[in-house]
Structure 1
Amino acid sequence: MKADLHPVKAETFDTKAGVNVDPKGFHRAVDVYAVSDFGLYMARGANHPRFGYLESWLLPRLNLRANIFHFRPGAEKDQDFYFDVADISVTGDVWTTRDLYVDLVSLTGTPVDVLDIDELAAATSAGFISAEDAERAIETTLAAVEGITRHGDDAMAWLRSEGAHLTWAESVTLTPAEP
């Protein structure tokens, strides 16, 4: 499989301004930000053609961003959670992520899928990230896969064992897709 070679995707979460600046520089209004002792929760609409709402938890100690994509009818995927392996930093009210290419797809009760290792290798070879960044991405991936597996393929059970008690919206309203 050919890797989709691209520079590191950075994203900003400004809790005071109530915005999320996506990797393409678009400022997205955030419905909810909630800071906890283990991370930052964000919920916002999305005008994406496949999904209309996004919930995310930034988990700096674990180098993970946990996501639920609320898919549009007909675009659903067989997943409960989508994890981005990322460096996460916090400066005052601003949280920043640097995506480290590797993604994990979790469907409770089934083995976790690891995606984009080829992108990690290509980005490292191209100099987009350092060998240290790549090593951290691999260590994070291995720890997450092991933890989820040891907890019966239940990502939320593993995260609770790590002290990260994630909560999610009971219901959301999808934002209309852009034409």
Structure 2
Amino acid sequence: MSETTENKEQLDKVTESTNEEVVENTSNEGNVELSMEEQLQAEITELKSKLEEEENRFLRLRADYDNLRRRTQLDREAAEKYRAQKLLTDLLPVLDNFERALQVEVTSEDAISLHKGIEMVYKTLIDATNVEGLEVIPAEGQSFDPTVHQAVMQESDSEKESGIVLRELQKGYKLKDRVLRPSMVSVNE
């Protein structure tokens, strides 16, 4: 029995040391778990901030894309609206020359038929430019407007009020809402 007692005592010692180790390990594991939990919490916080940054970046990129798309659409619409601007601007001197040719007095039959032919071509050209949106800027009798009129002279007419256009020296034209050439006018003082 003494062996059994000795064995029992040894077993008790081993059990005590094992329990002490388990208690130590458990308390160490609590520390490890706590620091692991802190590490995981820090990682979660970091990932949340990165996610928020990426969401903000995505929203900014999306807004930039929408702005670019809208700007491109407006540019396309403006290009379509004013596509004929260069051609019409180049044709303005031609219209002026036709008008001068039509102002010439003719007497002979050949000149009259030539005059009628020029008038027909002029009307066809005017119709074609009107289809594209070319408009004559009204001038004579209107109030002077520096956005559409260019004053080159001043005259006095006591019957009309000051700032009224007395004469149009050269026609002005606009394409839809854009002035191609202002009217050259004489304005009442």
Q: Which of structures 1 and 2 has the larger relative contact order (alpha carbons within 8 angstroms, sep 6+)? A: 1
TM-score range (shorter-chain normalised) is under 0.3
Structure with the higher helix share, 1 or 2: 2
TM-score by length of 2: 0.19
TM-score by length of 1: 0.20
Q: Please say which structure displays the higher CA radius of gyration.
A: 2
